[in-house]
Chain A
Amino acid sequence: MELLQYALDNLGLLGTRTLEHISLVGVAVGIATLTGVPIGIAITQNERVARAVLYVASIIVTIPSVALFGVMIPILSLIGQGIGYLPAVIAVLLYSQLPIIRNTYTAIHNVDPALREAARGVGMSQRQRLRMVEIPLAVPVIMAGVRTAVVLNIGVMAIAAYIGAGGLGTFISRGISQSDPRQLILGAVAVSLLAIIADYALLALQKRLTPKGMAVSSATA
């Protein structure tokens, strides 16, 4: 009850923090999508490059977020951005690369060779093949990667409160430093709920973006 009361009393703040959180993750994963998808497509051309890129992306994900923030502070301090918004976005951007690049690569790579041959056979250029056939077919899997990135990084972003990036993590960090379980639990619950809601919202988007003919086949299969 006490917790609910606290939440209601601080509804405005909760809203602000939630929006901050969404904007941080949204911007970071948005940029990650814009970079990761082209990278994922590009590396389908060369298997050796693909393996190297995916390897690097996998290593990045293994770096603990606290360590990553720590590393970025001195580097970004050079341009006066050691803490706050920028390092938080960069961290999430980096973490998002793996699921997005990997899913894009896998999806394009796994396009049925017969379809690729048919696309060549009708006289599509490589660009046309990507635009008209391969990317549309890859969209569901690419979107699944984006979803993974979002859900993963909603959690990571909670830690970014420690470098002053704001977001729902602020409740958690204050709750710990002030020994206030109300704030701690409110932050934790809010982060979890946000992750779940984001997951469902993106799943709905993924279904919408899935080409119609493929939705039919998966429904009947």
Chain B
Amino acid sequence: MIRLDNLTKVFDTPDGAVVAADHISMEVPRGEICVLLGPSGCGKTTTLKMINRIVRSTSGKVFLDGEDTSGLDTEALRRNIGYVIQQIGLFPNMTIEENITVVPKLLGWDKQRYKTRARELMDMIAMDAEAFLKRYPSELSGGQQQRIGVARALAADPPVMLMDEPFGAIDPINRAVIQDEFLKMQAELQKTIMFVSHDIDEAIKMGDRIAIFREGKLVQYSEPDELLSAPKNTFVESFLGEDRALKRLNLVRVRDVISDEIGTVVGNDTLTTARERIDAHGYRDAILLVDDRRRPIGVISRDTTGSHQGYCRDHMRGLPAVVNLGDDLRKVASLMFAHDTTWLPCVDDNGTLCGQITQRDMTHHLGSRYRARRSAADSEKPVGS
């Protein structure tokens, strides 16, 4: 757990005092990722760096797991906090192994222990220990270097990690891969993480909570869905962008919106049966065809049932797309647009049909937060205004 209590930084500049961070108080629960987000110069990085004293705070306190860190020795404090920076900062004079064991060595681990740890870490970041441990940072690609940077931060298994735009210098494709890998790792490691970003999409993807900064002040500190559906003021609104409702698509999974009511036919049903079911369910254009294990294999269009006779298996059309319960709505929306359809069948990990997702369900789900908020606001209005 990380708790900041009125953390403040005032820089003395030739033009007078500049308050870079103004009485920041916030708490990151154990095992969560908190993304500090804001335009440049908003104080997010300063706030982060005061936690491991790369920047000295002017006033205020930092608590880690309930313990006031102001009594701790600076070096001891830093060795107990994983630190990842945008420029990666691997030591070019050291091998990969030396780089990732630097903190264990500083902590005085014996050789056997830190060597074993180096191999564990390489497994964790899915890099081949034999191939890489003896190489130098300059021989690695940017993405590989940043993985090593993360491994170095994790080396002594610190409970807390600070990450300053860790994936900012990596190309977008690799960045997405590394973000996914990191989230997978975090699901197991359950570190308490503060993460600076200026990328709203990254924040939504990585953050359990998001803290929006502006001009040294913490403006809003909420969970991503809350943030996007209920921005506190116009600054937050404009920072999140006009398309913030669309960004929420990333946060909602198919399983949150799925309706399990779906009519289907099997190959041995006749087209007449298909027509009856299409009408019974009120479908506009087609009905789903599943195999004997309820896996979607095609669709029977309404037009076909009118113009042809016979069994469904002989008249099916290809399936436009299928979505998984774990997919996010952004992917669903994208598939719907691509295939010009308003609904898609949903399957579980075995490929078995679980239900369907419709555009109506999606807009309804996303809109419900706004409606709830508006009605709450309305009810607060004094009578007669």
In the complex, A12 has a CB within 8 A of chain B: no
Binds B, one of A65-73, A119-127, A166-174: A119-127
Contact A124 B89 (CB under 8 A): no
Interface residue stretch chosen among B134-142, B236-244, B276-284, B342-350:
B134-142
* Among listed B17-25, B72-80, B195-203, interface-contacting one: B72-80
Does B114 interact with chain A (Cβ within 8 Å)? no
The one of A115, A120, A132 that contacts B54, using a Cβ cutoff of 8 Å: A120
A24 CA to B136 CA, complexed, in Å: 40
Name the interface residues of B50-102: CB closer than 8 Å to any CB of A.
Answer: 52, 54, 74-80, 83, 85, 87-95, 102
Q: With A120-B54, A121-B83, A123-B78 in contact, do A211 and B106 touch (Cβ < 8 Å)?
A: no
**Distance A13 CA – B222 CA, assembled complex (angstroms):** 86
CA distance A114 to B88 in the complex (A): 8
Give Cα A124–Cα B103 distance, bound, in whole angstroms.
Answer: 8
Given contacts A121-B78, A122-B152, A124-B106, are A216 and B139 in contact (CB under 8 A)? yes
The smallest beta-carbon distance between B378 and chain A, in angstroms, is 50
Interface footprint category on B: 20 to 34
Given the known inter-chain contacts A117-B54, A121-B78, please indicate yes or no for A213 contacting B93, CB distance below 8 A.
Answer: yes
Is A114 a contact partner of B89 (Cβ separation < 8 A)? yes
Question: Which residues of the partner chain B approach A46 to less than 8 Å between Cβ atoms?
Answer: none
Q: In the bound complex, do residue A136 and residue B87 qualify as a contact, i.e. CB atoms below 8 Å apart?
A: no
B93 pairs with A118, CB closer than 8 A: no
Complex Cα gap A211–B139 (Å): 14
- From 111 to 139 in chain B, residues with beta carbon under 8 angstroms from any chain A beta carbon are 136-139
Q: How far is the CA of A144 from the CA of B348 in the complex (A)?
A: 66
A216 touches B54 (CB 8 A): no
Closest to B91 in A: A133
Closest B-chain residue to A213, C-beta based? B136
Q: Using Cβ atoms and an 8 Å threshold, which residues of chain B touch A117?
A: 54, 85, 89
Q: State in angstroms the CA–CA spacing of A49 and B136 once bound together.
A: 36
List residues of chain A with CB within 8 A of the CB of B87: 112, 114, 118
Q: Are B93 and A214 in contact (CB under 8 A)?
A: yes
**B contact residues around A123 at 8 Å (CB):** 74-80, 103, 106
CB within 8 A of A214: which of B78, B89, B138, B152?
B138
Interchain CB contact under 8 A, B95 and A213: yes
* Nearest CB in chain B: distance from A215 CB, A: 9
B75, B94, B103, B138: residue with the most chain A Cβ atoms closer than 10 Å: B138
Which residues does chain B contribute within 8 Å of A211, judged by CB atoms? Answer: 92-94
Set of chain A residues within 8 Å of B139, measured between Cβ atoms: 213, 216, 220
A212 within 8 A of B: yes
A98 to B187, CA, bound (A): 56
Q: By the criterion CB–CB under 8 Å, are A122 and B92 in contact?
A: no
Give, as a whole number of angstroms, the nearest-CB distance from B355 to chain A.
49
On chain A, the residues within 8 Å of B75 by CB distance are 123-125
Interface residues as binary, B275-294 with A (CB distance below 8 Å gives 1, 0 otherwise): 00000000000000000000
Q: Roughly how many angstroms separate A115 CA and B95 CA in the complex, as a whole number?
A: 15
Please give, as numbers and ranges, the residues of chain B lying within 8 Å of A115 by CB-CB distance: 89, 91-92
Contact B92–A121 (Cβ < 8 Å): no
Using a CB-CB cutoff of 8 Å, which residues 76-128 of chain A contact chain B?
112, 114-115, 117-125, 128
Q: Mark A133-154, 1 if CB is under 8 A from B, else 0.
A: 1001100000000000000000
B91 x A121 contact (CB < 8 A)? no
Q: Which residues of A contact B89 (CB under 8 A)?
A: 112, 114-115, 117-119, 121
Cross-chain contact of A121 among B85, B95, B137 (Cβ < 8 A): B85
> By the criterion CB–CB under 8 Å, are B93 and A122 in contact?
no
Chain A residues lying within 8 Å of B54, measured Cβ to Cβ, are: 117, 120-121
Q: CB < 8 Å: which of B76, B106, B137 contacts A128?
A: B106
Cα of A213 to Cα of B93 in the assembled complex, Å: 5
Cβ B83 vs Cβ A122 within 8 A: yes
Residues of chain B contacted by A178 (CB below 8 angstroms): none
Q: In the assembly, what is the distance between CA of A109 and CA of B87, in Å?
A: 18
Residues from chain B with a CB closer than 8 A to the CB of A120 are: 54, 78
* CB-defined contacts of B76 to chain A, threshold 8 Å: 123
**Interface of B toward A, CB cutoff 8 Å:** 52, 54, 74-80, 83, 85, 87-95, 102-103, 106, 136-139, 152
Which 10 pairs between the two chains have the least Cβ-Cβ distance? A118-B89, A213-B136, A211-B93, A114-B87, A123-B79, A217-B138, A121-B83, A123-B78, A136-B93, A114-B89
User: Beyond the given A118-B89, A123-B76, A212-B93, could you list 15 further A-B residue pairs with CB under 8 A, ordered by the A residue number?
Assistant: A114-B87, A118-B90, A119-B91, A121-B83, A122-B152, A123-B78, A123-B106, A124-B75, A124-B102, A124-B106, A132-B102, A211-B93, A212-B136, A213-B94, A216-B136
Interface CB pairs A-B, < 8 A, 22: A117-B54, A117-B89, A118-B85, A118-B91, A119-B91, A121-B89, A122-B103, A122-B106, A123-B74, A123-B77, A124-B106, A128-B106, A133-B93, A137-B93, A211-B94, A212-B93, A213-B93, A213-B138, A213-B139, A217-B92, A217-B138, A220-B138
